[in-house]
Structure 1
Amino acid sequence: MSRTDDDWTGPVRARLSARLERNVDHPLGLALSGGGDSIALLHVAAGWARANGRRLLALTVDHGLSPDSAAWTAFAEQAARDAGADWRGLTWRGLKPAAGLPAAARRARHALIAAAAREAGARIVLFAHTADDIAEAGLMRAGGSTLGRLRDWAPSPAWPEGRGLMLLRPMLDAGRAEVRDWLTGRGASWIDDPANEDPKYARSRARASLLPVGGGGAHRETTRDGAPRPDDGCAAVRSSPLPTGEGWFQLPRDIDAQALAAALVCVGGGDRPPRGDRLFGLLARLRSGEAFTATLCGARIEPGAAGVLLTREPGELNRRPPPPLPLSPGVEAVWDGRWAITADEPGWSVVPAGGRRTALSDADRAALKALPPAARGGWPVLIRNGGGAPVLAQTAARTRSLIEQRLALALDRMTHERDLGAVIHGATPPNPLFSSRHQ
């Protein structure tokens, strides 16, 4: 069967070409479960990679939830190697929760794939979600699920494992039925996981209640008036620069809801977005012009005359102080989800500055004084494992804030693979939130 641009594969290859680099050494990741959608994407991506000088790295997670999982993993490995891709198997180890198993498995899968992709030097991982997945997720949200919306280009949800890593979903306009018809026409086989039909899972119930989705964009989610729903709701923020200092943001009061949610998560260092009622309650207070201080997602919100100051909430670090984070020489560690820190010598650990500022040197206290007062207590300092005076992390180790680049990725300020090189490999590129092409 010849490949043409007349079926779903043409738009997929076009999306790959629009986002990805050609003829570079670092691999392109692909999440390969062995199911029909991921096998189809494997075939298309492998062809694109061969034609464009790329190595393809397929990553398969064995969740250990089925007696057949080892056989499924072996099937995925063979499929990847037959397609000319490299392959790596990953295993979800440890106890599995009795409640919330699908969500826990999804989080584990993303974390394992992100860590393996970063270790291999990949900047992008392909995922084979289709139009059917969009429809199923929409139905689940209507039933009360907090499942996020699928975007074709989005940061890895695993944090901090997925820092600097983007997911590309080039098949969101394709329907599952047409993908399987295409595979059948090629004589390809795939795995059908019986769990996908188990009615005890919300995803399976949503799938059973929906008719098969065909190709084309008509099945994308819409707003109540039938208009297409924007991908992320961040257009207003993308169109103007965000004033920022390292480790904090100054935002406008009329910031978009989705952009505010992303900024809160980034500044707070976590990975869970705010609940809708709390987010929209906060937005209403911002719009009213009220002066207040609030905390959400670990971030401190202080509206003022110059805008809305967003910093890490130091009170949370004081109430539930994290244990000191030991640093191994030459190994980047992520502290509080916000700072990447690499020490060159042994014997250092990272702690928050709150409660230790008076023990800092005069120079370090002067550096902290230059920050907004609310930001100072959440700053990282280093302590000697055997005792001694603390020092600001920036003066004793290679330290960089992660929140600016994380928000830039969330707001689509970095739209191509070539934009990601400095981010994932640890350098500090010019802040894309101030890029002149966005002003």
Structure 2
Amino acid sequence: MRLTPDNDLTARAFARLDARLTRETERPVALALSGGGDSIALLRLATDWARARGRRVLALTIDHRLNVESGGWTAFAGEAARAAGANWRGLIWDGDKPQTGLTAAARAARHELIADAAREAGARVVLFAHTADDIAEADLMRAQGSTLGRVREWSPSPAWPQGRGLMLLRPLLGERRGVLRNWLAGQGADWIEDPANADPRFGRSRARQALAGAAPQAMDDARAQVGGRPTMDGEAMARVARDIGARTLAAALVCVGGGVTPPRGARLQGLTARLKAGEDFAATLCGARVEAASDGVRIMREAGELGRSGVVPLVLAPGVEAVWDGRFAFRAEQAGWSVVAARGRLASLSDADRAWINRLPAATRGAWPVLVRDAGLAPVLASEGIERRALVVERLRLALDETTHEDDLISATR
């Protein structure tokens, strides 16, 4: 089925970008650029929008070093970005590649590299060129047993902690892949066709072939599936209602637990069912402890799970923000400081610090961060010249669609 060029594509793309992005600011908008047809179309549309709205675009291309042609593809993407008027940066996924799970590992590395580069440049939003066809393919893959998450127009970066404070915007999510290519052809534009897209060894390629020519289904409104919002209990704990939806519970667990991958499947559904049944219990999932009692349901970091995960001391370099356990960001003015878990050090705290930490539930006290200097002095909860920023509330806010615009992306409390 051949799709004709769509003269309204530019207007629709501009409307979606206008709905989410700030105008007239020096802060750049980042853009993931592979050099394929979808991303080249997004590049041209986004740079046209940016010129009209007083913004800059930073295009980021990842060379995964998985194909002998990848260097040429990266060079092509750089030339295309500069020709469109965007700044450009090429990034490389170095190191050994896994023998199994290569596609997932490459996807995770891509998000991490893009998030680091975007944050370094001062961007708050990264544009991705997913289309309606990508949604249909992912739906088919999930039906066949894949654990792929759902793609949404506006969602937080899945890289953590690299993507803290970053949102992903997919302004072409309602468009067909064929429409974009016909639009590009009408402009005389070139793009890359990755042979992996037709390789039946990959699940995405098999799904693409199975759905060739089929009309994609309408997008779901993910916000309708969220359920009741958690409320924060201090800096790093949350309280939830017993009738909480599975997606909201998953978000609360991964944010409070400081991890990367939200829980899915039978364990998540079982935990949700126990809450709705009114049971009183304690359970651990995704590094977080759920305590359900007559006075409510509280979620906290499980100190025992933190110990089993092997969180190593975080050495603070002067003036550089670093993240500990996925939950707190620290910045020190001077060298010599490290962040460690309070577990095994509670008795060494001062009377005042111990009195403060004893207000926390017993199961999470050992998971609280404490500061040590040159491994010689007693641990302390805080010190002059060290800034601590709690990340849980900000991360949870983004995960549960409580932001709708770039202007909403504020930093968490310090």
TM range (shorter): over 0.9
The secondary structure found in structure 2 opposite 1:154 is strand
**Equivalent in the alignment of 1:226:** none
Q: Report Cα offsets for 1:184-233 as digits up to 9, x if no partner.
A: 1111010000011111010111111112356xxx6235xxxxxxx43155
Structure 2 unaligned residues grouped into runs of 5+: none
Q: How far does residue 349 in structure 1 lie from its aligned partner after superposition? A: 1.1
The residue correspondences of 1:339-418 to structure 2 (distance < 5 A) are 339-393=328-382, 397-418=386-407
Question: Counterparts of 2:72 and 2:396 in 1: how far apart (Å)?
Answer: 40
Residue 230 of structure 1: which of 221, 224, 237 is its match? 221
In structure 2, the partner of 1:89 is: 90
Within 5 Å, which residues of 2 pair with 1:209-358?
209-212=210-213, 219-220=217-218, 229-237=220-228, 242-358=231-347
> Which structure 2 residues correspond to residues 30-69 of structure 1 after superposition, within 5 A?
30-69=31-70
Aligned CA distance change for structure 1 residues 50 and 204 (closer, same or farther; 3 Å): same
Aligned equivalent of 1:159: 160
- The one-letter code matched in structure 2 to 1:219 is Q
Contact 1:333 1:341 in 2 (8 A): yes
Amino acid at match of 1:151: R
Q: What is the DSSP-based 3-state SS (H/G/I as helix, E as strand, rest coil) of the residue aligned with 2:192?
A: coil
Q: Contact 1:175–1:212 at 8 Å: present in 2 too?
A: no
1:183 aligns with: 184
Q: Does the CA-based 8 Å contact 1:132-1:212 persist in structure 2?
A: no
Could you tell me how far 1:130 is from its partner in structure 2?
0.2
Q: Could you tell me whether the CA contact under 8 Å between 2:6 and 2:179 is conserved in 1?
A: no
Q: CA RMSD in A?
A: 1.7
Q: 1:213 to 1:89 in 2, by over 3 A?
A: farther
Alignment CA distance shift 1:11-1:306 (3 Å): farther
Change beyond 3 A, Cα 1:5–1:132 = closer
Shift of 1:371: 2.4
Greater CA drift, 349-358 or 314-323: 314-323
Q: Aligned-pair distance for 1:385?
A: 2.5
Aligned-partner Cα distance in 2 for 1:5–1:200: 33
Q: Is contact 2:232-2:393 (8 Å) kept?
A: no
Give the aligned residue type for 2:182: D
SS in 2 for 1:212: coil
Distance of 2:311 and 2:346 partners within structure 1? 17
Say whether the 8 Å CA contact 1:314–1:374 is kept in structure 2: yes
Q: 1:213 to 1:113 in 2, by over 3 A?
A: farther
Tell me how far 1:243 sits from its aligned partner: 4.2
What percent identity do the matched residue pairs reach?
A: 61
Distance 2:232 2:32 in 1: 36
By how many angstroms is 1:329 displaced? 1.2
Q: Which moved more, 1:326-335 or 1:364-373?
A: 364-373
What is the alpha-carbon distance in structure 1 between the residues aligned to residue 326 and residue 226 of structure 2? 26
Shift of 1:266: 0.3
Query: Counterpart of 1:84 in structure 2: which amino acid?
Result: G
| Mapped partners of 1:385, 1:213: distance in 2 | 63
1:428 corresponding residue in structure 2: 413
Output the CA distance in 1 between the equivalents of 2:213 and 2:79.
29
Kindly state the Cα deviation for residue 273 of structure 1 after the two structures are TM-superposed. Answer: 1.4
Query: 2:157 and 2:110 mapped to 1: Cα distance?
Result: 11
In 2 relative to 1, CA 395–298 (structure 1 residues): closer, same or farther, beyond 3 Å? Answer: farther
Q: Distance in 1 between matches of 2:169 and 2:144?
A: 27
Q: Deviations over 1:49-93 (max 9, x none)?
A: 000000000000000111111111110001000000000000000
Q: What is the number of residues matched between the two proteins? A: 410
State the Cα distance separating 1:387 from its structure 2 match: 1.5
| DSSP-derived class of the 2:279 partner | coil
Q: Is the CA contact (8 Å cut-off) linking 1:57 and 1:88 kept in structure 2? A: yes
Q: C-alpha separation between the residues in 2 aligned to 1:12 and 1:295?
A: 43
Which residue number in structure 2 is paired with residue 434 of structure 1? Answer: none
Contact residue 36 and residue 192 of structure 1 kept, 8 A = yes
Shift of 1:237: 2.5
- Once residues 9 and 349 of structure 1 are traced to their aligned partners in structure 2, the CA distance between those partners, rounded to angstroms, is 51
3-state DSSP class of the match of 2:31?
strand
The CA deviation at 1:419 is: 1.1
Mapped partners of 1:386, 1:206: distance in 2: 54
> Which residue type is aligned with residue 227 of structure 2?
A
Pick which of 201-210 and 313-322 moved more.
313-322
The 1:107–1:235 alpha-carbon spacing in structure 2 relative to 1, beyond 3 Å, is closer
CA 1:277–1:235: 2 relative to 1, 3 Å: closer
1:204 is aligned to 2:202: no
The CA deviation string for residues 19-76 of structure 1, in whole angstroms up to 9 with x for no partner, is 0000001100000000000000001000100000000000000001111111111100
The corresponding residue for 2:10 is: 9
Deviations 1:325-377 (A, max 9, x none): 11111111100011101112111111111111110011111221232333311
Q: Tell me which amino acid in the other structure corresponds to 1:362.
A: D
Opposite residue 337 of structure 2, the aligned amino acid is W
Shift of 1:275: 2.6
Distance 2:232 2:370 in 1: 25
